[in-house]
């Protein structure tokens, strides 16, 4: 894979998908329906999926592509593939809370090594460069990249950790786990923004004790890894792997190295 070609394409497609999403978000109403698993899907999910899928398939026709909106039609047999969540945080989108993201990632041998996370309502754009390091670009976002800030995880103080948790999926199990740590402060965020807050050093720890799919996490995972962070399984603290049957993730912990996991 030529990452010098891949990453500008990821950036462009994420921005184009974000524009489509925001066009629909600006309407007084839009169509929302339930998928087979009862999760919501909107016009914006489908419009963003079409933009990204067409762009990736045209550029990399030989690389398997998995997207949330088309996953039911795919049987994954490869460990190297492209994976997309065109609108992560659909609940946040429907409730007009702004914490939704466009996510595109490249997984190689089960590891997400390149990715982009774009939060169009918040004007935040995070991605890996061709060399694998992560940056946040400052908008406004045009055809050419604007100012870039290299991302580096925090040096955590285990006596005063900053924790980020889910906005829509917080539960007692998560709160009980967080209570094992000495926490200075907590924040909440929707979608894959939680990975990015750890990548920027705005948080030290993000535990997820709930159901997620690989397309929910791959891009944020790649950005966090590119900033020096880690994502491990909750049960055995082994690295979170991709290309699993059904694309279901186990519970996991995203963190800055130096956090003493409980």
* In a shared domain, residues 7 and 135: yes
- Among 118, 150, 182, the domain boundary falls at 150
- Judge if 81 and 190 occupy the same domain: no
Token pair of 134, please? 């992560």
Residues 178, 207: contact at Cβ < 8 Å? Answer: yes
The pTM for the full model equals: 0.94
* CA distance between the termini of the chain: 38
How many other CB atoms are there within 10 angstroms of residue 72's CB atom?
8
* Nearby residues of 188 by Cβ (< 8 Å), 6 or more positions away: 164, 165, 166, 167, 170
Of 125, 150, 175, the domain-final residue: 150
| Domain containing residue 129: CATH number | 3.30.540.10
Token readout for 208 is 């997820």
Instruction: With respect to residue 262, please indicate whether it lies within any of the assigned structural domains.
Output: no
* Region 224-248 average pLDDT: 95
pLDDT attached to residue 12: 98
Q: Could you tell me if 139 and 171 lie in one domain?
A: no
* Stretch 104-129: mean pLDDT: 97
Q: Measured between alpha carbons, how far is 261 from 237 in angstroms, rounded to an integer? A: 8
Convert the pLDDT of each residue in 8-26 to its tens digit: 999 999 999 999 999 999 9
Whether 71 and 130 share a structural domain: yes
Residue 77 has a pLDDT of 66
Characterize 166-204 residue by residue with b for buried, 16 or more Cβ atoms within 10 angstroms of its Cβ, and e for exposed: bbeeeeeebeebbeebeeeeeeebbbbbbbbbbbbbbbb
Domain count, the chain: 2
Domain containing 227 equals: 161-255
């Amino acid at each position: 894979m030529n990452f010098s070609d891949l990453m500008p394409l990821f950036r462009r497609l994420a921005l184009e998908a974000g524009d489509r999403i925001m066009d629909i978000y600006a309407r007084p109403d839009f169509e929302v329906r339930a998928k087979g698993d009862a999760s919501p899907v909107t016009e914006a999910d489908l419009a963003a999926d079409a933009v990204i899928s067409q762009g990736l398939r045209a550029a990399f026709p030989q690389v398997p592509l998995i997207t949330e909106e088309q996953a039911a039609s795919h049987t994954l047999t490869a460990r190297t593939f492209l994976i997309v969540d065109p609108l992560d945080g659909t609940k946040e989108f429907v409730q007009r809370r702004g914490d939704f993201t466009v996510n595109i990632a490249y997984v190689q041998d089960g590891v997400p090594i390149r990715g982009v996370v774009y939060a169009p309502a918040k004007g935040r754009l995070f991605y890996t460069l061709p060399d694998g390091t992560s940056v946040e670009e400052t908008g406004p976002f045009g055809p050419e990249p604007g100012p870039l800030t290299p991302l580096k995880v925090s040096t955590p103080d285990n006596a005063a950790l900053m924790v980020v948790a889910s906005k829509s999926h917080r539960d007692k199990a998560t709160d009980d786990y967080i209570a094992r740590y000495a926490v200075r402060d907590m924040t909440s965020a929707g979608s894959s923004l939680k990975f990015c807050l750890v990548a920027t050093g705005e948080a030290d720890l993000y535990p997820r004790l709930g159901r997620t799919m690989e397309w929910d996490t791959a891009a944020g995972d790649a950005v966090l890894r590119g900033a020096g962070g880690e994502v491990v399984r909750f049960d055995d603290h082994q690295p979170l792997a991709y290309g699993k049957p059904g694309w279901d993730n186990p519970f996991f912990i995203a963190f800055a190295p130096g956090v003493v996991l409980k």
